[in-house]
Amino acid sequence: MVWLILVGFLVIVDLFITFVGAGLESDPRAQLFSPPAILIVGLAGLAGVWLSHRTGFPAAWAPSAPARWRFVYPSLIGIAIGVFLSVADIFLHWTATFSSPGGVPFNAPFPGSLLFYPGGAIIVEVFYRLIPIPLVMYLISNLALRGRLQEQVFWALAALTSLIEPISQDLPDLRVGTELAVGLNFAGDYVMNLAQAIMFRRYGFLTSIILRVAMYLVWHVAYGNFICRC
C-alpha cells in the first residue's frame, strides 16, 4: 500500500507537468514521469517490495519502527548531507563547471522542483536499492545458500550498490581542476547511498526515500533554486 501511494504521487507529478508545466515540460527528465515510465517503475517497485519481504527487510510502515527513525533521523541525515554538498559547492564552485551529456539542467525550476525531486527520489530508489539489493540477496542467500549468510550478503551489496550513483553521476565530470570538487561530491553521494541502504534494511524502503528527499530539498531546491541559482 505504501508503494502504491508513492506511485500515485508520481502520477500527480506527471499531471503537474502536463497541465501546469512551470518549466518542467521542457526538461528532458520529465519523460521519467510519463505514464509508460510510471508503469515500469511501479511494477519494478512492487517486485522489489515482494523480494524485500522475503529477504528480511521490514515493511515500509512496520509498527516496530519508531516514528523518529522513520521520519526524523533520516530527514536530519539527508539535510546534513545536503548542507555538506552545498557548503562544498560554495567554496569549490562545482556546479559552475557542471557538465552533463545531452544538456540536462542541473536543477529543475521552482516551484515544480518541490514535486520533481521527491518524485525523482522515488524513481531512483527502485534502481539503486529496491530491486538490486533484495533481488541479489534472494538469489544468493535464499536460493544458493538456503538462507545462510543473509546479513553478510546484505553488507556486501550495500557497499557495492552505493557506488552506482557516484560512479554514474560524479565521475563523468572528473577532469583537470575538478578533482577535489568531484571527490567531495563522490564521497557525499556514497555516504548518502550507504546510509539509505542501512535505513532500508533496518526500517524499510520509505525511510530510505525520506532521507533522499530531505537531501534533495536542501541541495537541489533550497541551494539550487535560491542560493546558487544553478
The per-residue pLDDT for range 158-189, each reduced to its tens digit, is: 999 999 999 998 888 888 878 898 899 999 99
pTM assigned to the model: 0.93
Q: Which residue has the higher pLDDT, 13 or 69?
A: 13
Grid cell 553478510 is found at: 152
User: Average pLDDT of 80-84?
Assistant: 96
Least confident of 26-40, 41-55, 58-72: 58-72
Q: Write down the pLDDT at residue 103.
A: 55
Q: Indicate if the pLDDT at residue 100 is higher than 70.
A: no
Contact 229, 96 (CB under 8 A): no
| Residue 58 to residues 47, 73, 193, 198, 206, Cα–Cα distance (Å) | 15, 17, 18, 12, 10
Least confident of 97-106, 189-198, 204-213: 97-106
Q: Write down the pLDDT at residue 93.
A: 80
Least confident of 46-55, 59-68, 189-198: 59-68
Domain boundaries defined on the chain: 2-227
Model confidence band, residue 63 (pLDDT cutoffs 50, 70, 90): confident
Model confidence band, residue 218 (pLDDT cutoffs 50, 70, 90): very high
